[in-house]
């Protein structure tokens, strides 16, 4: 594995300032919340965190804005999102710079994240002329039964560091066309890209003449998120992050009968069958397992390989892993950027120590890199580990590039291993056997929210609903019918018969 040279923190600070200036954001001066870069592991600027009074004011303002936004025609609401999409296109490169600086994504993936935001804006604009209800056959003559979808209220969006901008846009573009208003509490690790997104939405609102208060940004840590979780004016809490966070948020929102949409951790697996096209499988596996330095919720963490091809596949994967270029995410040749923090690296080392104690064998990777250039950053070689069984550590999500390789003999056994983890986000099978593929996609196959064939577990398109089952939280965001989580259905019975007919044949009076 080769390493590429790192920029200095001063370079990155200057680049962040330039990107913010291009976008039109006042460059932050001072404040207790530190914007930081995992590229060098050092601080960039202090930014101002939200106070309790700011939080209260933001919730009150978005609640007040909701009262007019909910009756603004949906296609008109779509105009705001269309303008946001245009501004995202215009500032794509600068926004991607901020994602790279704060989250450490390589340039191509950071540009991909902004493209995903543009895509969801396009989708939401189309949605603004749909939001279909249904007409249902009534059992009574002269009656019509219908379903209408209405806006829900204020949506509290709590997001994670690893998709610092896209997750906001999935929620916000859809919530806004649905007639909701949004308060956003991004990860405390990514304030600069959050300021940029908030600024572009405010600019779009000014340009199309809609109230700015349809959206508010609250920078800060968990305590700010908790205020959204507990406030009855926040109708829906859409929270993306670890399963630990979801376990805290879900019951608290439920206790006040609020709604929550939880997008939590994954422990995604791919089955590689004997008939698989190994060239294609290897490309898919390496991107899904080592891409984003293993820090996607959909990162491939377990590989379940048929015993007959396991040695060949492992040998080829080991060779591919040894060639992965690690280093500055701004270098075109780099494929693996930094982990978010040295704490994340320590958690990875802990998982590797545990799996080795349980009999796992490291086949490639695991060493820390670039420590002399940046001792406070955490660059690591992606790791391949061969394991005989799915022990406790294999069943956990370690948010780092560790790929555990297991073997199987029968497809039933492979599917059983596949599903035998607490999480249920993304999954895939590499096979040229159609029957195997269909079994994997069937009700008796993968238990995940995302199930793919001949493609890895990560890199979903916005057109489908995104989310997963079990400890992944059960929420769905983005495309398909996910918009329904941001609205409330009302059932309408309209009697045009001139007589009162009661349902189920009941007679009264
Ligand atoms: P995290 O759980 O540490 O933090 C996520 C967000 O929740 C942050 O904004 C944080 O401030 C906030 N938060 C934490 N505890 C809270 C609480 N008790 N109440 C209210 N807010 C709280 O996650 P992270 O380290 O930023 O992100 C990585 C995790 O996110 C991984 O587990 C990954 O799988 C998951 N993730 C899931 C998806 C998905 O769509 N399923 C997408 C991206 C990331």
User: Average pLDDT, stretch 377-404?
Assistant: 98
Do 182 and 324 lie in one domain? The reply is no
Tell whether ligand 1 has an atom less than 6 A from the beta carbon of residue 219: no
What is the atom index within ligand 1 of the atom nearest the CA of 263? 41
pLDDT, residue 82, reads: 98
159 vs 245: CA distance, rounded Å: 11
CB-based contacts of 210: which residues, under 8 Å, 6+ apart? Answer: 69, 72, 76, 77, 79, 80
**Is the Cα dihedral 120, 123, 127, 128 positive or negative?**
positive
Tens digits of residue pLDDT in 133-179: 999 999 999 999 999 999 999 999 999 999 999 999 999 999 999 99
Question: Which of 380, 331, 349, 328 is CA-nearest to residue 40?
Answer: 328
Tell whether ligand 1 has an atom less than 6 A from the beta carbon of residue 248: yes
CB-based contacts of 148: which residues, under 8 Å, 6+ apart? Answer: 133, 489, 490, 492
- Which CATH number does the domain housing residue 274 bear? 3.40.309.10
Do 330 and 254 lie in one domain? The reply is no
**Domain-located, residue 494:** no
pLDDT, residue 509, reads: 81
Q: What would the DSSP string read from start to end of 143-171?
A: EEEEEEEEE--EEEEE--SSSTTHHHHHH
pLDDT, residue 28, reads: 75
Tell whether ligand 1 has an atom less than 6 A from the beta carbon of residue 41: no
For the chain, state the CA radius of gyration.
Answer: 24
Tens digits of residue pLDDT in 361-373: 999 999 999 999 9
Do 310 and 250 lie in one domain? The reply is no
Do 183 and 299 lie in one domain? The reply is no
351 vs 338: CA distance, rounded Å: 18
Do 259 and 282 lie in one domain? The reply is no
Tell whether ligand 1 has an atom less than 6 A from the beta carbon of residue 184: no
- Which CATH number does the domain housing residue 222 bear? 3.40.605.10
**Domain-located, residue 169:** yes
Say if residues 483 and 236 touch (Cβ distance below 8 Å): no
Do 278 and 245 lie in one domain? The reply is no
- Quick one: tokens of 64? 């007040």
Tell whether ligand 1 has an atom less than 6 A from the beta carbon of residue 245: yes
Enzyme catalytic residues: 263
84 vs 412: CA distance, rounded Å: 47
User: Average pLDDT, stretch 185-193?
Assistant: 98
Question: Which of 216, 232, 396, 166 is CA-nearest to residue 302?
Answer: 396
SS3 380: strand
Tell whether ligand 1 has an atom less than 6 A from the beta carbon of residue 101: no
Do 413 and 446 lie in one domain? The reply is yes
Do 275 and 243 lie in one domain? The reply is no
**Total structural domains in the chain?**
2
Burial (0-12, 13-18, 19+ Cβ within 10 Å), 502: exposed
Count of C-beta atoms within a 10 Å radius of residue 420 = 12
Using N-to-C axis directions, what is the helix angle for 74-90 and 191-208, rounded to 10°? 130
Do 431 and 311 lie in one domain? The reply is yes
**Domain-located, residue 498:** no
Question: Which of 167, 160, 133, 203 is CA-nearest to residue 397?
Answer: 160
Q: What is the DSSP letter of 229?
A: H
Q: Which of 229, 242, 343, 460 to mutate to test the pocket of ligand 1 (most atoms within 8 A of CB)?
A: 242
What residue numbers bound the domain in which 288 lies? Answer: 268-466
**Domain-located, residue 340:** yes
457 vs 418: CA distance, rounded Å: 13
Q: Using pLDDT thresholds of 50, 70 and 90, give the confidence band for residue 45.
A: very high
Q: Which of 160, 261, 292, 399 to mutate to test the pocket of ligand 1 (most atoms within 8 A of CB)?
A: 160
Tell whether ligand 1 has an atom less than 6 A from the beta carbon of residue 161: yes
Q: Using pLDDT thresholds of 50, 70 and 90, give the confidence band for residue 425.
A: very high
Cα 242 to ligand 1 centre (Å): 4
Q: Angle CA(260)–CA(265)–CA(269) in degrees, nearest 5?
A: 135
Cα 198 to ligand 1 centre (Å): 20
Burial (0-12, 13-18, 19+ Cβ within 10 Å), 112: middle
Q: Is residue 494 within a helix (H) or strand (E), and if so which, with residue range?
A: strand 487-495
- Quick one: tokens of 124? 């939401």
**Domain-located, residue 507:** no
Do 324 and 249 lie in one domain? The reply is no
User: Average pLDDT, stretch 198-210?
Assistant: 98
**Domain-located, residue 1:** no
Share of the chain above pLDDT 90, in %: 97
Do 240 and 332 lie in one domain? The reply is no
Say if residues 120 and 49 touch (Cβ distance below 8 Å): no
**Domain-located, residue 4:** no
Say if residues 286 and 459 touch (Cβ distance below 8 Å): no
Cα 101 to ligand 1 centre (Å): 19
Q: What would the DSSP string read from start to end of 280-345?
A: HHHHHHHHHHHGGGG-STT-EEEEEEEHHHHHHHHHHHHHHHHT--BS-TTSTT--B--BS-HHHH
Q: Indicate whether this model's pTM tops 0.95.
A: yes
User: Average pLDDT, stretch 382-407?
Assistant: 98
Q: Whose CA is nearest to atom 22 of ligand 1?
A: 222
Count of C-beta atoms within a 10 Å radius of residue 328 = 27
**Domain-located, residue 293:** yes
Share of the chain above pLDDT 70, in %: 99
Q: What are 362's strand-pairing partners?
A: 385
Do 284 and 249 lie in one domain? The reply is no
């Amino acid at each position: 594995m080769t390493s590429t040279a790192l920029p200095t923190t001063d370079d990155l600070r200057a680049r962040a300032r330039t990107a913010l200036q291009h976008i039109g954001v006042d460059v932050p001066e001072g404040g207790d919340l530190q914007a930081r870069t995992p590229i060098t592991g050092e601080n960039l600027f202090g930014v101002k965190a939200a106070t309790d009074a700011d939080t209260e004011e933001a919730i009150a303002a978005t609640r007040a804005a909701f009262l007019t936004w909910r009756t603004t025609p949906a296609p008109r609401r779509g105009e705001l999102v269309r303008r946001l999409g245009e501004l995202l296109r215009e500032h794509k490169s600068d926004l991607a710079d901020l994602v790279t600086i704060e989250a450490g994504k390589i340039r191509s993936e950071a540009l991909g994240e902004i493209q995903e935001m543009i895509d969801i804006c396009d989708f939401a604009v189309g949605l603004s002329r749909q939001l279909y209800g249904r007409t249902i056959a009534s059992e009574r003559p002269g009656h019509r039964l219908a379903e209408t979808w209405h806006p829900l209220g204020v949506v509290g969006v709590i997001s994670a560091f690893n998709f610092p901008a896209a997750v906001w846009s999935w929620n916000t573009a859809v919530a806004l066309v649905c007639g909701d208003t949004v308060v956003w509490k991004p990860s405390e690790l990514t304030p600069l890209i959050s300021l940029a997104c908030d600024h572009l939405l405010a600019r779009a609102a000014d340009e199309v003449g809609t109230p700015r208060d349809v959206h508010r940004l609250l920078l800060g840590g968990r305590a700010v998120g908790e205020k959204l979780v507990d406030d009855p004016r926040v109708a829906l809490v859409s929270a993306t992050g670890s399963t630990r966070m979801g376990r805290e948020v879900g019951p608290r929102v439920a206790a006040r009968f609020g709604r929550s949409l939880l997008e939590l951790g994954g422990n995604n697996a791919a089955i590689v069958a004997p008939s698989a096209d190994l060239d294609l499988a290897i490309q898919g596996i390496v991107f899904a397992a080592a891409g984003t330095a293993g820090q996607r919720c959909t990162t491939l963490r377990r590989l379940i390989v048929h015993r007959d091809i396991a040695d060949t596949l492992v040998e080829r994967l080991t060779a591919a892993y040894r060639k992965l270029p690690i280093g500055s995410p701004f270098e075109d040749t780099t494929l693996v950027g930094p982990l978010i923090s040295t704490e994340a690296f320590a958690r990875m080392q802990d998982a590797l120590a545990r799996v080795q104690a349980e009999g796992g064998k490291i086949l490639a990777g695991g060493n820390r890199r670039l420590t002399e250039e940046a001792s406070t950053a955490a660059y690591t070689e992606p790791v391949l580990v061969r394991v005989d069984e799915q022990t406790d550590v294999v069943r956990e999500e370690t948010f780092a590039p560790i790929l555990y390789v297991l073997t199987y003999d029968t497809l039933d056994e492979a599917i059983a291993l596949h599903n035998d983890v607490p999480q249920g986000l993304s999954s895939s099978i590499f096979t040229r056997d159609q029957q195997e593929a269909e079994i994997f996609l069937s009700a008796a196959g993968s238990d995940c929210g995302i199930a793919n064939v001949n493609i890895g577990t990560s890199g979903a398109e916005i057109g489908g609903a995104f989310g997963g089952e079990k400890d992944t939280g059960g929420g769905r965001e983005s495309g398909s019918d996910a918009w329904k989580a941001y609205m409330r259905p009302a059932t309408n019975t309209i009697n045009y018969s001139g007589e009162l007919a009661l349902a189920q044949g009941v007679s009264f009076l």
